[in-house]
Every structure is written in C-alpha cells, then in structure tokens.
Structure 1
C-alpha cells in the first residue's frame, strides 16, 4: 500500500522536472520567428537609398540584411520604438526589376523578407554632391533656358533700341547741316 503514494510522488516530481524543459523548448520554437521587412521608399532608382524596418528579431537585437539590388550588406540596429532599422544604397548598375530583401537575425532565431523595386527615371539626378559648380541646380538652369527672355528683357531691349535710334538720328542731323564759319 505504501508503493502507491510513492509512485504518485515520483510522477509529480518527474512532471515538475520535465515542465521547465518543455517550456524552454516551446520558447525556442517561438523564437524562430519569421516576418517582413518594410522598405521605404518601395520604388527607387539606382544609386538611391532605402530605409529598412523589421520586427522579426525582437527589440534590442541586431541583424544583417541583403539583396541583389544593394551595393553592400545592411546592418540593422535597434530603432527608437520597437524593431530594427537599417539603411541601404541601391547599386548604380541595378537593372529595373523587383528584388527580394532578406534579413537574418544575429542570434539566428528569426528571418524576414521583403521587396524593393528598382526603376529608371528618364533624367538621372545626382545622388552625391557633384563637383561641377552648381550640382543639382543644373536641372533648374535647363528649365529656365527653355523659357526664353521675359518681359523685363523685352523692355530693356526696346529702350536700348530707342536710345540707339535717337543717337543715329542726332548724328545724321549734325552731318546734314552745313558748317558755319
């Protein structure tokens, strides 16, 4: 009769010992997270920069991200709120297409994927300071050159033409007069 309480106590002890182990396994299984990467802006031209955000790795961790469109690997750091943030530059020779972005958490317990679309614009714009004397103002100068002279230029031209006409008329009138001695 004494064996029944002893068996019951042994079963409770075995359950208590195995409970923390099963909870730890469940926590590990839940730690293998997968999520998404938000890319902003989602459409970018070659040479442009994008911001990447993910919550797949949890708060306070780090991760690395990459894509065939990126010039180099993106390194994620904790953001102000929750999740991780990184910046990446698009390769200058990237062809227009949709590219997959993948992120792997530093501890290996989490992955995330997203998409960035590379587009080409008809007019390339500088992505870094240009040592060409004017840099980004070249596009504005081109627009101004297409407009032609304005009203101010027309008034100045008419005024100069009138002054020239008066000078020619005055000089012609002086030559026509006979010289008086």
Structure 2
C-alpha cells in the first residue's frame, strides 16, 4: 500500500514539475513580441496587431508588406504600455504564413509575429450557396406539375395502405 502511494505521489510530482517547466513564461513576454489577432485570416480580412515592446506612450511603424498590405502605424492606447495598429489583408493574398514586423519609434526595437492566411474562414464556416445537382429534383423542383403528381401519388398510397390495414384489423382479409 505504501509503495503504491509513493509511486502515485512521485508520478504526480513529476507531472507537476514537467507542466511547470513546459508552461510559457509570461514574465518574459512583457518585453513584448507582436501579437496578431486574428492569427488566421481569409484574404480581405481585417487584422489587429499590438505590442508592449515600445513602452508607455510608444509608437511603432508596422510592416505587412510580406502579405501585400504595406506599412501601417501602431499608436499608444488606453491599455497601459500597448501600441496597437490595424491593416487589411489584400483580397489577392495567397494562402500561407507571413511574418508581420514592427519597429519602435524610440530605440528602434524590432518585434515580429506570424499571420496565417487561409482560404476558408477559421471562425465561421463558409456556408454553401445554391442547390445541389443530384438529378433527383427537389421539393420545388424545376417542374411543379411533376412535384404535384408525386405528392398525389404518395397521398393515394397512404390512403390505400390505411384502408388495407383497417380491413385486416376488422378481419375482412385483404
């Protein structure tokens, strides 16, 4: 019993230590990288970037030319120490991962972040449009006369089946 308890306690301690060592060091990110939101976008989408690397009231010059969006400005916000900027991914952008850069106005510190351009929406799925050509037709298919004839045939079959079941239940036979 003691051996099992020691084994379980040792395993739990090892797992906790591994989790602590693998956890991201948030204190190190205070120096700031470039945060890109959303990190995955479709061509034509709006992207917001922010960084705390430039300090309180700091500004930065952003560069999204890798994706074809060109230069943009990061300006201070009400959120202490953050500079924020926006750009739009061109509709002609190709699928792939692009590096977005920013250089602080004071000190010239450079930070970067990754932007993934996809052809499908990450958040909401692209909804299909139009009808599916299966060859079977639809409820309101191309010919309303055929649809009405089909509905009438189903109604006759249902009425006939009900009548036959009623006769069989009374004992009249089929």
Query: In the alignment, what sits opposite 1:51?
Result: 48
The answer to whether the 8 A contact 1:35-1:113 is kept is no
- C-alpha distance in 2, partners of 1:34/1:47? 31
The answer to whether the 8 A contact 2:31-2:52 is kept is no
Relative distance call for 1:37 and 1:53 in structure 2 (3 A) is same
Unaligned 5+ residue runs, structure 1?
A: 1-32, 123-138, 162-181
The answer to whether the 8 A contact 2:43-2:91 is kept is yes
Unaligned 5+ residue runs, structure 2?
A: 1-29, 122-126, 153-174
The answer to whether the 8 A contact 1:102-1:114 is kept is yes
1:2-53 deviation line (CA, Å, top 9, x unaligned): xxxxxxxxxxxxxxxxxxxxxxxxxxxxxxx963111111011111111101
C-alpha displacement at 1:57, in angstroms?
A: 0.4
Relative distance call for 1:79 and 1:53 in structure 2 (3 A) is same
Matches within 5 A, 1:82-97: 82=80, 83-97=82-96
Query: In the alignment, what sits opposite 2:111?
Result: 112
Greater helix proportion: 1
1:121-153 deviation line (CA, Å, top 9, x unaligned): 29xxxxxxxxxxxxxxxx68x35x559447xx9
Displacement over 6 Å in runs of 4+: none
Computing the radius of gyration from Cα coordinates, the structure with the larger value is: 1
Query: In the alignment, what sits opposite 1:69?
Result: 67
- C-alpha distance in 2, partners of 1:57/1:74? 15
- C-alpha distance in 1, partners of 2:139/2:105? 61
Matches within 5 A, 1:149-160: 149=139
How many corresponding residue pairs? 110
Relative distance call for 1:70 and 1:86 in structure 2 (3 A) is farther
- C-alpha distance in 2, partners of 1:103/1:94? 20
The answer to whether the 8 A contact 1:34-1:111 is kept is no
The answer to whether the 8 A contact 1:34-1:110 is kept is no
